């Protein structure tokens, strides 16, 4: 090669330790913070990043990937022998994703039909939310419904005759985007997720509907937080601003607005737990629980699942994110999954319980709990990175029984070919 030619970037591949350092910096983490999440001393992280330690074994790699929110293991270790990428926190692309993406991306400037009434759209949305909560494979259901719902809601906004009609249609469109975000989440198209979240927020603000704004803020805060520690401030900002708007006059507000305030309050605690701020996290949980206790005993918010029944599940999540093994398992033991009416949310709770038991060293119980999650909603387990990580780690366990059980789960949730 000529000395004047551009060098091949693959002639000097980036080492594992350099990749860890790059992702840590991108997430805004110090070495001390990463070490704390992994249960190591800061000097261990320094040795990994400098190359003084070899690439860790698979279980440790999964823990590093989880802490850094790296979605593909190959992004940490590079391409290994030409093997395909191993996704961690991104699930498989659903067969209906292209159709949903096409509906989101389309902006027809003319219409060859009349928009459905807002009453029809409201009934269709209610039915879609109910179908999502009742289905063991909610993306399959939503993938069929969303293209039509998106087009109908967009059409209703364009054909609104008055300001009031347009605001009502915008609130419905925002809620359609919220429903879409549940379908798009954890699929391999992060840019699409952000388009949906941002359009939902814009439509909600245009509607001036407090409930729609609260839902959009709730989902936006989650999207920011799931992007890593560097985005935690943005998650807090969205949550704080939404609470400032919604909390005045809360006692006289409709049930659904009070519930979304409770859900947002817990989100603040969830982010604090991800920051490892124990007192702050549990303080927000307590505030959310007080709101939940003032709701009817059987109340269930149709979007966030917020209500009394979900607070136990939220307690498990806080303890797990704080990496407190004994407290995590204590919360998991006391949280009643059966009271959660939504099948996907119940499965998500079971996964959080499994994380709690795994953190506490109760590996067999963790696998049994993942089996319960799979029974409630197989698709939720299939798209959940934490569940897949536990299954992959247990597939290498010393115990033959644990390996076999994990291998069966891997087949059941589609991680391996049967």
Tokens 């009271």 belong to 339
Percent of residues, the chain, with pLDDT higher than 70:
92
Do residue 129 and residue 201 come from a single domain? yes
CA 149, CA 157: separation in Å to the nearest integer?
12
Six-digit token string for 93: 């692309």
Do residue 170 and residue 136 come from a single domain? yes
Residue 104 pLDDT: 94
Residue 26 pLDDT: 76
In a domain, 27, yes or no: yes
Beta carbons of 343 and 300 less than 8 angstroms apart:
no
Q: What is the mean pLDDT of the chain?
A: 88
Counting the structural domains of the chain, the total is 2
Radius of gyration of the chain (CA): 22
Residue 8 pLDDT: 35
CA 180, CA 243: separation in Å to the nearest integer?
23
Lowest mean pLDDT among 36-45, 51-60, 319-328, 351-360: 51-60
In a domain, 108, yes or no: yes
CATH number at residue 56: 1.10.260.40
Instruction: For the beta carbon of residue 383, count every other beta carbon within 10 angstroms.
Output: 21
Residue 126 pLDDT: 95
Of the residues 186, 208, 230, the one at which a domain ends? 208
- Does 84 score more than 80 pLDDT? no
Cross-strand partners of 87: 72
Task: Give whole-number Cα distances, 280 to 265, 331, 370, in Å.
Answer: 12, 18, 29
CA 192, CA 99: separation in Å to the nearest integer?
13
Do residue 169 and residue 68 come from a single domain? no
DSSP state, 12? S
CA 284, CA 299: separation in Å to the nearest integer?
20
Lowest mean pLDDT among 101-110, 207-216, 230-239, 251-260: 101-110
More reliable by pLDDT, 59 or 394: 394
More reliable by pLDDT, 92 or 193: 193
Q: Of 217, 212, 253, which is closest to residue 235 (Cα–Cα)?
A: 217
In a domain, 19, yes or no: yes
Summarised one tens digit per residue, pLDDT across range 198-245 is 999 999 999 999 999 999 999 999 999 988 888 999 999 999 999 999
Residue 407 pLDDT: 85
Which uninterrupted H or E stretch holds 254?
none
Do residue 176 and residue 150 come from a single domain? yes
Do residue 98 and residue 72 come from a single domain? no
CA 310, CA 57: separation in Å to the nearest integer?
36
CA 93, CA 127: separation in Å to the nearest integer?
25
In a domain, 377, yes or no: no
- Does 148 score more than 60 pLDDT? yes
Domain enclosing residue 155, as ranges: 94-208
Do residue 106 and residue 199 come from a single domain? yes
Mean predicted confidence (pLDDT) in 143-172:
96
Do residue 73 and residue 109 come from a single domain? no
More reliable by pLDDT, 61 or 104: 104
Instruction: For the beta carbon of residue 75, count every other beta carbon within 10 angstroms.
Output: 16
Residue 2 pLDDT: 37
- Does 404 score more than 60 pLDDT? yes
- Does 397 score more than 60 pLDDT? yes
Summarised one tens digit per residue, pLDDT across range 23-35 is 888 777 888 888 8
Six-digit token string for 184: 């798009």
CA 196, CA 175: separation in Å to the nearest integer?
11
DSSP state, 229? G
- Does 88 score more than 80 pLDDT? no
Residue 282 pLDDT: 98
Category of 186 on φ-ψ map: left (φ > 0), alpha (ψ -120 to 50) or beta = left
DSSP state, 57? P
- Classified as helix, coil or strand, 87 is strand
Residue 304 pLDDT: 95
Summarised one tens digit per residue, pLDDT across range 114-138 is 999 999 999 999 999 999 999 999 9
Summarised one tens digit per residue, pLDDT across range 307-333 is 999 999 999 999 999 988 899 999 999
Per-residue confidence band for 37, with pLDDT thresholds at 50, 70 and 90: confident
Q: Of 235, 239, 260, 240, which is closest to residue 250 (Cα–Cα)?
A: 260
- pTM for the model: 0.79
Do residue 116 and residue 196 come from a single domain? yes
Do residue 26 and residue 116 come from a single domain? no
CA 57 to chain centroid, in Å, comes to 27
In a domain, 225, yes or no: no
Do residue 99 and residue 51 come from a single domain? no
Q: Hey, CA dihedral for 300, 302, 305, 306, is it positive or negative?
A: negative
In a domain, 389, yes or no: no
Residue 246 pLDDT: 96
CA 292, CA 123: separation in Å to the nearest integer?
26
Residues in the chain: 418
Six-digit token string for 214: 């609260």
Residue 206 pLDDT: 97
Q: What is the 3-state secondary structure (H, E, C) of 15-53?
A: CHHHHHHHHHHHCCCCHHHHHHHHCCCHHHHHHHHHCCC
């Amino acid at each position: 090669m000529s000395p004047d030619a551009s060098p091949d970037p693959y002639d000097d591949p980036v080492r594992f330790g350099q990749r860890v350092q790059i992702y840590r910096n991108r997430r805004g983490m110090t070495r001390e913070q990463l070490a704390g999440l992994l249960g190591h001393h800061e000097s261990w992280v320094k040795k990994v990043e400098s190359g003084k330690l070899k690439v860790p074994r698979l279980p440790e790699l999964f823990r590093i990937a989880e802490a850094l929110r790296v979605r593909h293991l190959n992004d940490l270790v590079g391409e290994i022998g030409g093997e395909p990428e191993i996704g961690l926190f991104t699930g498989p692309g659903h067969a209906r994703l292209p159709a949903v993406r096409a509906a989101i991306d389309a902006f027809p400037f003319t219409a060859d039909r009349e928009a459905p009434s807002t009453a029809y759209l409201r009934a269709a949305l209610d039915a879609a939310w109910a179908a999502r909560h009742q289905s063991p494979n909610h993306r399959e259901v939503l993938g069929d419904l969303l293209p039509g719902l998106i087009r109908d809601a967009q059409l209703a906004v364009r054909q609104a005759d008055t300001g009031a009609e347009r605001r009502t249609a915008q609130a419905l469109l925002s809620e359609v985007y919220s429903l879409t975000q549940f379908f798009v989440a954890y699929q391999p198209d992060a840019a699409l997720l952000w388009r949906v979240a941002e359009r939902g927020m814009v439509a909600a603000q245009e509607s001036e509907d407090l409930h729609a704004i609260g839902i959009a803020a709730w989902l936006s805060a989650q999207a920011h937080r799931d992007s890593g520690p560097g985005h935690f401030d943005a998650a807090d900002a969205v949550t704080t601003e939404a609470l400032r708007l919604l909390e005045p006059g809360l006692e006289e507000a409709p049930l659904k607005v009070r519930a979304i305030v409770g859900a947002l309050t817990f989100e603040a605690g969830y982010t604090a737990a991800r920051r490892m701020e124990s007192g702050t996290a549990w303080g927000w949980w307590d505030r959310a629980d007080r709101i939940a206790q003032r709701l009817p005993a059987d109340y269930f918010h149709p979007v966030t699942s917020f209500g009394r029944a979900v607070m136990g599940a939220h307690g498990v999540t806080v303890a797990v994110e704080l990496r407190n093994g004994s407290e995590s398992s204590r919360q998991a033991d006391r949280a009643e999954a059966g009271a959660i009416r939504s099948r996907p949310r119940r499965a998500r709770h079971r996964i959080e319980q499994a994380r709690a038991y795994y953190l506490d060293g109760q590996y067999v119980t963790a696998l049994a709990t993942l089996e319960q999650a799979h029974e409630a909603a197989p698709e939720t387990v299939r798209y959940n990175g934490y569940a897949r990580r536990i299954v992959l780690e247990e597939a290498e366990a010393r115990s033959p029984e644990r390996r076999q059980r994990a291998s069966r789960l891997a087949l059941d949730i589609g991680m391996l070919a049967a």
